[in-house]
Structure 1
Amino acid sequence: MIYLLLSILASTLIFIHFKLFERFKVNTLQAIVVNYIVACTFGLIVYEAPVKVDEITSSKWFYGAIFLGFLFISIFNVMALTAQRNGLSVASVASKMSVIIPVIFGFYVYHESAGLQKIIGIVLALIAVYLASVKSKTSINFKKNLFLPIILFFGSGVIDTSIKYLETTYVPENGIPIFSATIFGFAAIIGLLILSYKFTFENLKFDYKSLIGGTLLGIVNYGSIYYLLKALHFEGLESSTIFTVNNVAIVMVSTLLGLLLFKEHISIKNWIGILLAVISIGLVTLA
């Protein structure tokens, strides 16, 4: 359970970083690329064994890590586009409600328990995510640019599902740091190619603040994935429980921190969502 709590904490700190990027006018794309470089480096440092490229490339999870690295940066850009064209609430709802995909995967592939209490908890969690994410005075238009929320929903779900599958099938516990580092490494390579294009053809200017912001983000971003993988590796908790609690807790804590740290307005809907989040976490965990 401690790994799950640390994953939730790290993921919530990611939210704080993005809010601070907005406040201090940090170039988000550049910070994201720096973040992936730092997260990869951090994983290589944490890895206790010698780093051998031939062993990494011959690992059964290697091509899965390439696929996840591509998804990481692609879905981030889809999330940014969704927030810009459909609204932040739509982006939040689409990405967090995708938890249903790895949950269903866990039920059917790993034959995890699906008792009435857990199902009620999962349904309440989905409702909680929606209510806690939707901000007042925000126009929610799922029909406008519909393909973006759909891609974000399925992309986020595929990322969580792929992480679970690779962790369960191919990654030993002592291999989690290097597996995580490889994912971030390929995301960084793709990000650097995108930045190179923008610097060359779009006259993008270098933002030194992105080095500081990206470095701090990279550390907590690595922690969010590392501790999630450690939680998934723990036999005492099922993946359907972990993903449900992880996603709904991140939304709940982020909403409360938005109130406390950034003086964001929380509507009655949001408070109901937070209450349902607490209830759903209790139901799913105790099930």
Structure 2
Amino acid sequence: MIYIILSIFCSVTVAVLLKLAKRYKISIIQAVTFNYLTALTLCFLFFKPDVKIITGTAPWPIYIALAILLPTIFLFLAASVKKLGIVKTDIAQRLSLFIPILAAFFIFKEDFNQLKFIGLGVGFLAIILTFLRKSESKSESGNWFYPIIVFVGFGIIDVLFKQIALHKELPYTTSLFTVFSLAFFVSLIIIIIMIVTKKTKLQLVNIGCGLILGLFNFGNILFYLKAHKALATNPSTVFAAMNLGVIVVGSLIGILVFKEKLTKLNYFGIALALCAVILITISQLNAVR
């Protein structure tokens, strides 16, 4: 259980760091870029990936898609935290699990039970209620765009990572190292272009923050994988504890520390989000039985 707690801590810390980035005027694109430098370095040290086995037969289209999506969605994640706060962004990110579930049903023709359908319905209602406000200006209503992109983006990323896991001839961690390397390369190109066009200036504080961000970003992945390994016979426990934990802890920090304002409907949406995760977890347990 300690690995799940550490994974939750790292995941919520990433959101907190992105929230603080606005206060200290950190360049998000620079932080995201060097976040991947830390992630790929730690991935190399902890997982010892064998890059020699990465050949032309590797799933390169998926690698490249992830290399573009990861930094892009990370930027939308940062914008969502900045515009709408940690509570709503964490829920959008966690409920993105519905995208791979829907893909399993519509694309991979996986059998669904009634509980999973109910869980999906409750989850989508939770999303609507979590972001609902009594009155919104045009500028505020435009902020919906960010968590929606986070929701869809992380869902697609999850589907792509699941596709990588199907390539049994390649260790998952080796593919992970490759994706992080490519994501760093893509982000670095963007930074270089922005520096050349004088749209940004490289600063040590941004590099430092990026390295710290990458530490917690990688920690989230490392401890999540370790939790699945430690509880190999009960993956649903890891799935439920991780998603419920991030929603609860993220909500508490957003409300108590950053004083994010929520309506009664928003609170009800958070409760429904927790119910949705529980229903989907139970449905998965029933499917295994």
TM range (shorter): 0.7 to 0.9
Q: One-letter code of the match for 1:211?
A: I
State the Cα deviation string for residues 89-146 of structure 1 (Å, max 9, x = none).
8x94876654332011223556655222222122222222333345666547899699
Aligned with residue 164 of structure 2, among 145, 163, 166 = 166
Alpha-carbon distance between aligned partners in 2 of 1:34 and 1:14, rounded to the nearest angstrom: 14
1:255 maps to what in 2?
251
Q: Number of residues paired by the alignment?
A: 278
Report which stretch shifted further, 145-154 or 131-140: 145-154
8 Å CA contact retained: 2:130, 2:266: yes
Alpha-carbon distance between aligned partners in 2 of 1:171 and 1:130, rounded to the nearest angstrom: 41
Q: One-letter code of the match for 2:197?
A: F
Aligned with residue 217 of structure 1, among 199, 213, 218 = 213
Alpha-carbon distance between aligned partners in 2 of 1:9 and 1:121, rounded to the nearest angstrom: 26
8 Å CA contact retained: 1:30, 1:195: yes
Alpha-carbon distance between aligned partners in 2 of 1:245 and 1:132, rounded to the nearest angstrom: 20
Alpha-carbon distance between aligned partners in 2 of 1:115 and 1:140, rounded to the nearest angstrom: 40
1:118 maps to what in 2?
116
1:16 maps to what in 2?
16
Q: CA RMSD in A?
A: 3.8
Query: Is 1:38 aligned to 2:34, yes or no?
Result: no
8 Å CA contact retained: 1:35, 1:214: yes
Q: One-letter code of the match for 2:275?
A: I
TM normalised by structure 1 equals: 0.77
TM normalised by structure 2 equals: 0.76
Unpaired stretches in structure 1, ≥5 consecutive residues: none
8 Å CA contact retained: 2:30, 2:191: yes
2:70 maps to what in 1?
72
Q: One-letter code of the match for 1:117?
A: L
State the Cα deviation string for residues 68-104 of structure 1 (Å, max 9, x = none).
11111233345567788xx548x94876654332011
Unpaired stretches in structure 2, ≥5 consecutive residues: 284-289
Helix, strand or coil for the counterpart of 1:169?
Answer: coil
Provide the identity percentage. 29
State the Cα deviation string for residues 4-33 of structure 1 (Å, max 9, x = none).
665444322211110121222222111111
- Residue 189 of structure 1: how far off its partner (Å): 0.6
